Amino acid sequence: MAATFSVGIDLGTTNSVLASIPLGQEGATPEVVPVPQLTAPSTVEARPMLPSFLYLGTPEEVEQGIFRLPWGTPPLAVGDWARRQGAEVPTRTVSGAKSWLAYSRVDRRQAILPWNAPAEVAKISPVEASRRVLEHALAAWAQAHPEAPILEQQVVLTVPASFDAVARELTREAALQAGLPETFVLLEEPQAAIYAWLADQSKNWRKLVREGDVVVICDVGGGTTDLTLVSVTHEAGELVLKRLAVGNHILVGGDNMDLALAQLAQSRFAEKGVNLDAWQSVALWHACRAAKETLLAPAGPDSCPVTVLGRGRRLIGGSVSVELTRAEVVTALTEGFFPPGTLQARPARRAQSGFKELGLPFEADPAITRHLSHFLNQQSGVRPTRVLFNGGVFKSDFFRHRVLEAVGGWYGLETGALELDHNRDFDLAVARGAAYYGRAKLEGGIRIRGGAPRSYYVGIEATGPAIPGIVRPLRHLCVVPRDLEEGTELEVPGDTIGLLTGEPAEFRFFSSLTRQDSPGTVVTNWTEDELQETSPLVATLPPAAGGGSDFVPVRFHVRLTELGVLELWCVSAVSDDRWKLEFSVRDAEV
Amino acid sequence: MRLSQAFSVFFRILSDAAFAERVARLELPEKPAAPAKPAAVPPPARRHEALTLLAVFQREGRLVDFLQEPIDSYTDVQIGSAVREVHRGCRAALVRLFDPFPALTAVEGASFRVEPGYDPARIRLTGQVAGTPPWQGTVAHPGWEVRRCELPEWTGTAASERVIAPAEVELR
C-alpha cells in the first residue's frame, strides 16, 4: 500500500515528539501528534511531547497494573510521570539514554542503565531504552491513525548532527527493533530545524535569505547543545542549501542554567540558616526555573520570590522563601553561559586527573557562546550572516538576544537583521521539520545537500622492528572524506593491507569534524581536538581453503547508502571476495 | 437389555426424588477444566471525573493541601509567597485541560447592550432589572467559558478509586 503520511520522529535527549504531514495534499502543514502517556500512576493524558525518560517499576507496581496504557500494560512507564520520578526515585529511572548512545567507552548494548543503580534493579541498555521510547511513540501513532500502519508510511527519524557512524548505527538498530519500516531515513536535527522554518515560510523563504548567506543553527535544549553551519548558494537559477560543518555534541543546556540559579538560591537559604534536604533541593530547582522565566520576561519584575513549599500537609507553614533579583540572575546567567567574549575564545579544558569516574562526559565549560565562537573559528574563511535558533532555551527573548549580540559583535553585524524568524514552537520544530523533509523527499521540494558530516580514519599499525615497551605507532588512513554524498561508493586508493584469514581483524576507528582529507591520505600530524576515537571495526575472514592461515591483500571500500548508512568493506585485491567491517561496540578496554 | 433399564430408571426418577437428584448430578460428563487464564492485570474500574480533576490539581498545584491547611494563624506575607507556587501549578493545569476564555467578548467596565432573546446562562443580570430588553448596562464580569474539557483517563483499581493523592514514604 502506498504511504499516506510522512511521519517525523524527534527522539530527543529530554523530550521526544511525533509529527506528521499528509501526502498528496497541497498546502498541508506538518502537525504534532499528541502522545498518550502516564502523568501519574493509573492516569493517562495525551501531551504534545513525550519526555524521553523511563521509570522501571517494582514487581508490585507492575502487578497492580498501574502502567496501563490504552494499548497495553508494559512493565515500565515512559513520559511525563517517568520524568518526575527521575527526581524522586533516581535509582529506578533511565534518563538521557540518547547521550549514552554517543559514548563509546561503554558497551551500549549491555544493560547498564540506570547508571549506578543498585544490583536488584533490572537494568536495560541504552539501545533498549531508546527502543522503548520509540515503541511508545509508534503505539501512539497506531492509536491515532489505525488506517495508516507505520510500516507503510514514509518515516524520518532525527539524530544530532554530531552523532558519528557508530551512534547512528545503534540508533538505527533501536529503531528497527521498535518497529520502524526498513526504509526509514535518518535526518540531522539542525537540518530538521531549517526544514521546519521552510515549512512555515512556505514559498516566501527565498525572499528571506540571499545567495551567500551562511546560517548558523544554534540548538540548545534541556541538556544538550548542537551547532551547525548551512550555506545558501545559487545553482541552475535556484537557491540551494548546503550543510557546511557540524560541531561536537556538547552536554550543556537549560537544565544547567536552572541548577546554577538553584545554587545561588541555596546559598541564600544557607545565609538564613535554612538547610534544604534532597526533596526540597529538587523543588528549589523547579522554582528557580519559574523565577528565571518571570525575571527574564520582557517586562519582568525587578525581583521575584523563590519559594520551596512545605513537604507534608503544612504547605504554607513549612514553606521557606528567598528573593532573587533580576540583576543577579542576569549576571549569573550571562557570565556563566553567554559571556560575549571574543571570536578567539575557547572553552576551558577539563582538568585531566589520574583517576576518572566512568560516566557521561559532562562539559567542563558551560559557556555556550565560547563553544559557539570556537566552532565558528574552526571554519576558516566562513562568515555567518544569519542565526536560526532551536530548542527550549531560546523560547526566551533574553537568551536569543545574548547570542545575537555576541555573534554581531564578533563579525560586526547588525543584530536586528541577524535572526531567521521562527514563529512556531521551538520545542516541536525538529519533529515537524522531519515530517516536512520526508514529504519533500517523496514529492519533490527543497532539500539540503549534506553528505557525511565527518571524515573517518582507520588506524593501521606501522610496520617496523618491535621495540619492547614501545607501542607501535598508528598510521591514520582516511577512508571516508567529509561531505561524501549519500548514494555513493568509493574505493580507498593506496597500498593494500594484509589481513590474516581465519582470525578476526580489528582496526581502531577515528573520526574528525574539522579535517578535510581525501581518501587514501595518511595523516601524520593532528591535534588532540581534531581526531576522536570511536568503536573499533572488526572483520573476520573465513579460514583459507587449504587450511593454515594466509595473508590476503585487501583495500578498503566505502559505501554511503541513500538512507545515510555508512558501510565499510575489505575487498580482496586478488579475488572477488569482500568482507564487511562491523562496529565492535563492546567496552573500549576489552 | 438397555430398554428395560431405561424404563426402570424412568419410573424410578418419577417416584424417587433423591434418586432423581443423583441422576441429575451424574448426567453430564465433566466439562474439561477451563484453561487457567494467565494472571491477568486487574481490570480497570471507573471513577467520577471530578476525582480525577481533583487529583490533577493536587498533583500539579497542591490545591487540596492548600485548601485543607488552616490559614488563620499565618500572616499575609507567609500566605502570599506560598500561594504563588500553588497559583503557578494550578493555572498551568487549568489552561492545559480547559483553556478558559471570557464568556462575553467585552471589556470589564465597558457599557454593554443586552439584546432581546439573550441567553440567561451566558449573561446574568443584576441591579435595576425591570421592563423588557434591550437594556443598557456595564459589564461587571465577562464570565468564563472553556474551549475543551480533556481530563486524563484514570485506569486504576476499585480499591484506590477514592485516593486522589497517594501517601509518600521516603526510604533511606
Q: How far is CA B54 from CA A82, B70, B91, B157, in A?
A: 21, 19, 13, 17
- Tell me the Cα Rg of chain A: 25
Q: At what angle do helices A254-271 and A278-296 cross, to 10 degrees?
A: 110
Residues of B in contact with A284 (CB under 8 A): none
State the average pLDDT for chain A. Answer: 86
pLDDT band, very low/low/confident/very high, at A590 (cuts 50, 70, 90): very low
pLDDT at B36: 47
Which conformational region is residue A236 in: left (phi greater than 0), alpha (psi within -120 to 50 degrees), or beta? left
pLDDT band, very low/low/confident/very high, at A157 (cuts 50, 70, 90): very high
The more confidently predicted of residues A222 and A457 is A457
| Segment A242-250 mean pLDDT | 86
Whether B65 contacts chain A with CB within 8 A: yes
Q: Examine the pLDDT at A120 and tell me if it is beyond 50.
A: yes
| Nearest residue to A342 (alpha-carbon basis) of A409, A272, A296 | A409
**Model pLDDT for residues B141-168, shown as the tens digit of each residue:** 999 999 999 999 998 888 888 999 999 9
Rounded Cα gap, residues A304 and B122, in angstroms: 38
pLDDT band, very low/low/confident/very high, at A396 (cuts 50, 70, 90): confident
pLDDT at B133: 86
Which domains, ranges and CATH numbers included, belong to chain A? 1-23+145-251+360-446 (3.30.420.40), 34-142 (no CATH), 254-337 (3.90.640.10), 455-583 (no CATH)
Q: Examine the pLDDT at A583 and tell me if it is beyond 90.
A: no
Q: Residue A358 has which C-alpha cell?
A: 566512568
**How close does chain A come to B154, measured CA to CA in Å?**
4
Residue of B nearest to A74 (CA): B41
pLDDT at A589: 46
Neighbours of A190 (CB within 10 A): 31
Domain ranges of chain B: 47-97, 100-146
| Segment A366-386 mean pLDDT | 89
**Model pLDDT for residues A54-108, shown as the tens digit of each residue:** 999 888 888 888 899 999 989 999 999 999 888 888 889 998 888 888 887 788 8
Q: Examine the pLDDT at A557 and tell me if it is beyond 70.
A: yes
Whether A340 contacts chain B with CB within 8 A: no
Are B85 and A41 in contact (CB < 8 Å)?
no
Residue of A nearest to B63 (CA): A315
Residues of A in contact with B154 (CB under 8 A): 42-44
Q: Spell out where A392-503 has E strands.
A: 448-449, 455-461, 474-480, 488-491, 497-500
**Model pLDDT for residues A319-347, shown as the tens digit of each residue:** 899 999 999 999 999 998 998 888 887 87
ipTM: 0.79
Percent of chain A with pLDDT over 90: 35
pLDDT at A356: 52
Which one of B59, B67, B81 would you mutate to disrupt binding with A, by most A Cβ within 10 Å of its Cβ?
Answer: B81
| Option in B55, B62, B65 nearest A40 (CB) | B55
Residues of B in contact with A43 (CB under 8 A): 52, 55, 152-156
**Model pLDDT for residues A105-116, shown as the tens digit of each residue:** 788 888 988 887
Given a contact cutoff of 8 angstroms between Cβ atoms, the answer to whether A339 and A410 are in contact is no
Rounded Cα gap, residues A571 and A579, in angstroms: 7
Whether A73 contacts chain B with CB within 8 A: yes
3-class secondary structure per residue, chain B: CHHHHHHHHHHHHHHCHHHHHHHHHHHCCCCCCCCCCCCCCCCCCCCCHHHHHHHHHHHHHCHHHHHHCCCCCCCHHHHHHHHHHHHHHHHHHHHHHCCEECCCCCCCCCEEEECCCCCCCCCCCCCCCCCCCCEEEECCCCCCEECCCCCCEECCCHHHCCCCCCCCCCCC
Whether B49 contacts chain A with CB within 8 A: no
Please count the residue pairs, one from chain A and one from chain B, whose beta carbons lie less than 8 angstroms apart. Answer: 86
Which one of A68, A280, A282, A292 would you mutate to disrupt binding with B, by most B Cβ within 10 Å of its Cβ?
Answer: A68
**How close does chain B come to A311, measured CA to CA in Å?**
10
**Model pLDDT for residues A467-507, shown as the tens digit of each residue:** 777 776 778 899 999 888 888 899 999 888 888 777 788 88
Are B59 and A40 in contact (CB < 8 Å)?
yes
Residues of B in contact with A63 (CB under 8 A): 41
Are B82 and A290 in contact (CB < 8 Å)?
no
Given a contact cutoff of 8 angstroms between Cβ atoms, the answer to whether A249 and A96 are in contact is no
DSSP A43: E
Are B78 and A319 in contact (CB < 8 Å)?
yes
Given a contact cutoff of 8 angstroms between Cβ atoms, the answer to whether A444 and A31 are in contact is no
Please tell me the least confidently modeled range out of A450-454, A459-463, B80-84: A459-463
Predicted TM-score of the model (pTM): 0.83
| Nearest residue to A204 (alpha-carbon basis) of A388, A28, A447, A446 | A446
Whether A70 contacts chain B with CB within 8 A: yes
Phi, psi of B136 (to 5 degrees): -105, 135
Residues of A in contact with B66 (CB under 8 A): 315-316
**For chain B, which residues score pLDDT lower than 70?**
26-44
| Segment A248-265 mean pLDDT | 89
pLDDT at A438: 92
pLDDT at A238: 72
**How close does chain B come to A268, measured CA to CA in Å?**
16
Q: Which helix (H) or strand (E) holds A533?
A: strand A532-540
pLDDT at B30: 54
Which one of A37, A38, A39, A43 would you mutate to disrupt binding with B, by most B Cβ within 10 Å of its Cβ?
Answer: A43
Q: Examine the pLDDT at A548 and tell me if it is beyond 70.
A: no
Whether B164 contacts chain A with CB within 8 A: no
Whether B85 contacts chain A with CB within 8 A: yes
pLDDT at A174: 95
- Exposure string of B41-69, with b = 16+ CB inside 10 Å and e = fewer, is beeeeebeeeebbebbbbbbbbbbbbeeb
Neighbours of A109 (CB within 10 A): 15
